[in-house]
Amino acid sequence: MKREDETKILQFITKVQADMKTEEHGKQLKLLFSNPIPYGVSILLIITIGLPFDLPVVAVSGCILMTIFFLCKVQFQKFWKEMSIIFSSNGEDLTNLSKFYLENEKKRLFLIAEYNNHVIGTIAVRETEREGTGKLWRMFVDPSCRRMGIGSKLMKELFCAVQHLEYSSLELRTHETNTMAIEFYSRHGFRERKKTVFAEVFPCKLHAILFQKQLKQVETGF
Ligand X SMILES: CC(C)(COP(=O)(O)OP(=O)(O)OC[C@H]1O[C@@H](n2cnc3c(N)ncnc32)[C@H](O)[C@@H]1OP(=O)(O)O)[C@@H](O)C(=O)NCCC(=O)NCCS
User: Is residue 141 near ligand X by the rule CB under 6 A?
Assistant: yes
Out of 125, 139, 209, 215, the only residue in the binding site for ligand X (CB under 6 A) is 139
Map residue 108 onto helix, strand or coil: coil
Peptide bond into 203 cis (omega under 30): yes
User: Is residue 184 near ligand X by the rule CB under 6 A?
Assistant: yes
The burial of 90, by beta-carbon neighbours within 10 Å (0-12 exposed, 13-18 middle, 19 or more buried), is given as exposed
User: Is residue 150 near ligand X by the rule CB under 6 A?
Assistant: yes
Smallest gap from residue 221 Cβ to ligand X (A): 10
Considering the complex, state which of residue 30 and residue 99 has its C-beta at the smaller distance from ligand X.
30
CA atoms within 13 A on the CB side of 201: 15
Count interface residues toward ligand X (CB under 6 A): 18
Smallest gap from residue 120 Cβ to ligand X (A): 9
CA dist 30 → 61, 80, 187, 215 (Å): 22, 13, 27, 38
**Per-position b or e across 131-156, b if 16+ CB within 10 A of its CB:** eeebbbbbbbbbeeeeeeebbbbbbb
CA dist 147 → 37, 137, 177, 215 (Å): 36, 19, 18, 25
Residue type at 100 in one-letter notation: F
User: Is residue 134 near ligand X by the rule CB under 6 A?
Assistant: no
Cβ-closest position to ligand X: 151
Q: Binding string, 59-98, against ligand X, x = CB under 6 A?
A: ----------------------------------------
Q: Binding string, 18-37, against ligand X, x = CB under 6 A?
A: --x-----------------
Considering the complex, state which of residue 28 and residue 174 has its C-beta at the smaller distance from ligand X.
174
Out of 74, 148, 160, 218, the only residue in the binding site for ligand X (CB under 6 A) is 148
User: Is residue 187 near ligand X by the rule CB under 6 A?
Assistant: yes
User: Is residue 120 near ligand X by the rule CB under 6 A?
Assistant: no
CB contact at 8 A, 110 and 122:
yes
Smallest gap from residue 177 Cβ to ligand X (A): 10
Distance of alpha carbon 8 from alpha carbon 118, whole angstroms: 8
User: Is residue 170 near ligand X by the rule CB under 6 A?
Assistant: no
Interface residues toward ligand X, by CB under 6 A: 20, 139-141, 146-152, 174, 178, 180-181, 183-184, 187
